[in-house]
Structure 1
């Protein structure tokens, strides 16, 4: 009886953490979107273009320090804290911070050393050369704060880690936008310098918050007898977990960079003009792809939360709770991704017109929309497998999928018979193959019963009713002379509420969900 109650509380804690992180993700994305819009207006095309040129450079270096190490820290901290080995917790944290600090400083020196090659040879822009000098502080600060957040996630201090990200985005928004407004109108190059410095400004306040919380809470961790575990052993554990994730992230960044260069070139080889190739690429990457990745608002929260959660449950051999949380994570992913897929498939043209004022983007939204479910599921699967210690498998699966995508881009996009449809084919094969490989690995590890009615039938039924409701209410709004765009927005809201209502009626979502959340940790 006690065990059952404990499982329930842990499950509620997982739900609470996931919902909290989802809300934080939404808030951060909203602040970030507003920041980007205002930044573009104040800096102009030239300034924002220079700023965007520097971001891939920073990301390539950041992926080495942030793709795997924070996840490894979160996983190890969760494992050691589940065994009440707080001496190992403290040592893991110190080793991770020292190693990340040393690595980020070394990468900063490399970045500075190759500033001339990057600025003058690759970008052929002297202003880019000057901007590179502002990147190392951001590289060091982001690396350290990412590890510290991983530490807090591992200790289940989700609120501290979540607030730190809000602090970073909010302070950057207020200081940078306030400064730009105070000197407006401004030189675009100066604006780019300020925007790049803004990254470090936000991360600095993030670091201050995390250190303040550390002084208040983490020193209160129970004292335990020092263990014989060595620092080198902990570093080896961190590297063993993080290396596959870093390799996968680096491969993904390189693939994105390659796609940005290769797709327009291959489109022109298949008969597109230069302007047609660039416009097509923009519709795919800048318009359709952000919608396809929209479920990441939720799945990112699930992935961050489930890795330390599963690590802890597996270490204490609480397999029942682990299975429940895996099932719940998959269920939440499908509840979010299924209706979005339906919207993209049935309303691609209205979305293209009302969001982007570009009807031609509807085809990209429609075709990539079919990938939404698979993209969301494979993201959640990755978090589950990381938590179960199968990071090598997930890395191999993603490299296989991305290789298929690269082959499709190179061989099909350049073929006049396929054109941009070659990219759609490659992207679909990539997401589908990763899903299948991840599911097969998970199925071999854990024999669990899936409630297929809750996972698939109820969400699909609710999504079908949602589509019908949107179509009917849109016609009704138009019949009483509502504007076309207004009727579509109102119909989406009514359809979304209808979808949620059907989920509650069919018990796909627990009716006592809100009450359960308010009772958590009491």
Structure 2
């Protein structure tokens, strides 16, 4: 697979991610208007458990299928692909059924003793039905990602989001008047319907590919060898995902509890938690939709290059990825830091959320950088390094939440998140340098893009400072700042001919 195919696949996934994230904003804005910040906090308490369920049942298998599919295809051993997918999907299904039973029958205990919010029990029971669809569907998407055929994963994401939005739109009027418990139940209905629809779409296309590709019916690897190969890769990957999800879940459970010690009532703490995790953080991550797609595409790209020992191709991919990430991260940081109140007013109708968005804006370069670096290290097979780095990151954040949040409130969380991202980014860049020989210049990767972003944002800030925030003005601001940012990037040498050729080159 060439550089062009990587970029095409990334563009498809990026377009889908951007579209689904925009749709997700409509979904969250609609929900926040109906159920308020406290209702969003209740809903956000459930989502970490859903992420944990994905980590246990599919997290390791999705990347495993993607990497093994890319590797076997690069070696010309296509007969192994079908057996890899079947065995992986079967394992995912078994794990998901077991976990669904635990979640369904233990919903009351989990709600009361783990989440410490009894109103989530009904939603947890319903959420159990989504896990098998989510697990097997994610595994099948790994097959298409491994072949860099991103259309199916992209459209499955869009379909899932459409079903979520449609369901909450239809069910909100029925369930929301009955209280926050049932409003949260309506939102989880959207999750179940979205996962079921996305699975059916992906499974249909997999069967279609299977009928067309006769080699999939002729496995060239024995069942025992295939099973061992899958487990040898999926177990460490799953351990990484599960550990990270457990620690992330702990973070999300602790935040409203420690905020209550800061002096807030339980309702105020839950509302603040909902504003932070359900409204501000998704807004902060919106520009990274392209990088998430890029990270997914990097896994098979790097895996294939490693399989055929194309070291120059690996170095070019790493360099181009880090440069692209730094440009997007610096530009986003400047945008959120200079226009926090305006952005929150246009998106949510609440300019006061800008107080939360402003300090988090400075995390964008580090936050987006981790998305890309994780994709690169996954492709290089550095699973154990990622495992320990994720543990370190979460432990730093949890320490700030536990010890500092009762005294400093949400500022403690922001400080802990920054320290954890900084520590892990430094360690990850050192690991990348050791494996690939690529050592990015801090001034080239961060200094120049930040200077360009600050200049573009301040100029636009001066132009619109006397205007009233509106959606039209917001779109014009984004367009104007984007154009100026590209101009300044070019003037500072970030987008010179060598850089552009680096992104366009095909493998050698």
TM-score, reference length from structure 1: 0.83
Residues 379-390 of structure 1 aligned to structure 2 (within 5 Å): 379-390=371-382
In 1, Cα distance between equivalents of 2:221 and 2:70:
16
**For residues 204-253 of structure 1, what are the alpha-carbon distances to aligned partners after superposition, in whole Å with 9 as ceiling and x for unaligned?**
33222223222332433363896663333333333333334433333333
Q: Counterpart of 2:405 in 1: which secondary structure?
A: coil
Using a 3 Å threshold, how does the CA distance of structure 1 residues 420 and 216 change in structure 2: closer, same or farther?
closer
Aligned to 2:483: 497
2:416 is equivalent to residue 426 of structure 1? yes
Q: Counterpart of 1:26 in 2: which secondary structure?
A: helix
Instruction: Tell me whether 23-32 or 405-414 shows the greater mean CA deviation.
Output: 405-414
2:305 is equivalent to residue 313 of structure 1? yes
In 2, Cα distance between equivalents of 1:20 and 1:474:
34
In 2, Cα distance between equivalents of 1:104 and 1:164:
20
**For residues 80-121 of structure 1, what are the alpha-carbon distances to aligned partners after superposition, in whole Å with 9 as ceiling and x for unaligned?**
111011121111111101111111111122223323423565
In 2, Cα distance between equivalents of 1:43 and 1:471:
33
2:215 is equivalent to residue 229 of structure 1? no
Using a 3 Å threshold, how does the CA distance of structure 1 residues 52 and 342 change in structure 2: closer, same or farther?
closer
In 2, Cα distance between equivalents of 1:444 and 1:516:
21
2:202 to 197, 210, 214: 210
Using a 3 Å threshold, how does the CA distance of structure 1 residues 145 and 366 change in structure 2: closer, same or farther?
same
In 1, Cα distance between equivalents of 2:294 and 2:255:
32
Aligned to 1:435: 425
In 2, Cα distance between equivalents of 1:141 and 1:371:
34
2:468 is equivalent to residue 483 of structure 1? yes
Instruction: Tell me whether 452-461 or 40-49 shows the greater mean CA deviation.
Output: 40-49
In 1, Cα distance between equivalents of 2:56 and 2:495:
39
Instruction: Tell me whether 319-328 or 131-140 shows the greater mean CA deviation.
Output: 131-140
**For residues 257-287 of structure 1, what are the alpha-carbon distances to aligned partners after superposition, in whole Å with 9 as ceiling and x for unaligned?**
3334434444554566767755655554445
Instruction: Tell me whether 354-363 or 433-442 shows the greater mean CA deviation.
Output: 354-363
Consecutive unaligned residues of structure 2, counting only runs of 5 or more, are none
- Deviation, 1:402, is 1.4
Which of the two has higher C-alpha Rg?
1
**For residues 312-371 of structure 1, what are the alpha-carbon distances to aligned partners after superposition, in whole Å with 9 as ceiling and x for unaligned?**
111011222222122121121111110111223334454455555666544433332222
- Deviation, 1:132, is 4.0
Aligned to 1:84: 76
Aligned to 1:472: 462
In 2, Cα distance between equivalents of 1:448 and 1:210:
37
Using a 3 Å threshold, how does the CA distance of structure 1 residues 45 and 274 change in structure 2: closer, same or farther?
closer
Q: Counterpart of 1:229 in 2: which secondary structure?
A: coil
- Deviation, 1:440, is 0.9
In 1, Cα distance between equivalents of 2:416 and 2:93:
38
Determine if contact 1:458/1:508 at 8 Å carries over to the other structure: yes
**For residues 401-451 of structure 1, what are the alpha-carbon distances to aligned partners after superposition, in whole Å with 9 as ceiling and x for unaligned?**
21112122222334x4x5544333221110001101111111111113647
Instruction: Tell me whether 270-279 or 256-265 shows the greater mean CA deviation.
Output: 270-279
Q: Counterpart of 2:286 in 1: which secondary structure?
A: coil
2:19 to 23, 27, 31: 27
In 1, Cα distance between equivalents of 2:22 and 2:49:
25
**For residues 56-86 of structure 1, what are the alpha-carbon distances to aligned partners after superposition, in whole Å with 9 as ceiling and x for unaligned?**
4433323211322101111111111110111
In 2, Cα distance between equivalents of 1:357 and 1:50:
21
Q: Counterpart of 1:389 in 2: which secondary structure?
A: coil
Determine if contact 1:14/1:325 at 8 Å carries over to the other structure: no
Aligned to 1:408: 400
RCO (CA 8 Å, sep 6+): is it higher in 1 or 2? 2
2:51 to 44, 59, 62: 59
- Deviation, 1:288, is 4.2
In 2, Cα distance between equivalents of 1:42 and 1:413:
29
Determine if contact 1:92/1:234 at 8 Å carries over to the other structure: yes
Instruction: Tell me whether 140-149 or 60-69 shows the greater mean CA deviation.
Output: 60-69
Consecutive unaligned residues of structure 1, counting only runs of 5 or more, are 1-8
Determine if contact 1:12/1:516 at 8 Å carries over to the other structure: no
Aligned to 1:3: none
Determine if contact 1:338/1:373 at 8 Å carries over to the other structure: yes
TM-score, reference length from structure 2: 0.85
